[in-house]
Amino acid sequence: MPVSRKEISPCPIDAMLSVIDGRWKGTILWRLSEGPMRTSELRRSIPGITERMLIRHLHELVRDGILVRHQEASMPPCVRYSISRYGLTLVPVLEVICGWGRNHLRRIGHLQR
């Protein structure tokens, strides 16, 4: 598994992780799972994120086929992002990850007391 997750690795685990790896990708997917959103809406709904990072991550997710970018060619531009049909196949995986993570957080909590 020779990976710095940006080069394409033949390892399926890395292939999957490279898609959701990124400081804010989880949150972005989480927000978009409730429906399509505009760039600026997303930015306002995710406290702490910078426009730079939002757009970088959005474009990466579009490149990976997880999101779709709809642009209405108007000026002031209006761009909306939504989860693609392919992206929807990721949701159950995220739920499994989330389930284990929730349990892990509980475990860490217990151990700390």
Partner DNA sequence: AGTTGTACTGACAAAGTCGTCAGTATCGCC
Partner DNA sequence: GGCGATACTGACGACTTTGTCAGTACAACT
Using CB under 7 A, list all residues that contact DNA. 4-6, 21-24, 38-40, 48-53, 55, 58-59, 69, 71, 75-79
Binding partner at 70 among a copy of itself, DNA, none, C-beta below 5 to 8 Å by kind: none
CA distance 92 to 107: 23
Dig out the tokens for 8 from the structure: 């394409």
Binding partner at 78 among DNA, a copy of itself, none, C-beta below 5 to 8 Å by kind: DNA
Binding partner at 76 among a copy of itself, DNA, none, C-beta below 5 to 8 Å by kind: DNA
User: Which of 8, 81, 98 lies closest to 38 in space, CA to CA?
Assistant: 81
* Residue 88 binding a copy of itself, by CB under 8 A: no
- Please report, as residue ranges, which positions from 16 to 35 form the binding site for a copy of itself (by CB under 8 A): 16-17, 19-21, 23-24, 26-27, 30
CA distance 113 to 68: 45
In whole angstroms, the minimum distance from the beta carbon of 112 to DNA comes to 20
* Residue 2 binding a copy of itself, by CB under 8 A: yes
Beta strands of 8-111 (E only): which ranges?
37-38, 67-72, 78-83
Task: Using alpha carbons only, give the angle 69, 13, 97 rounded to the nearest 5 degrees.
Answer: 75
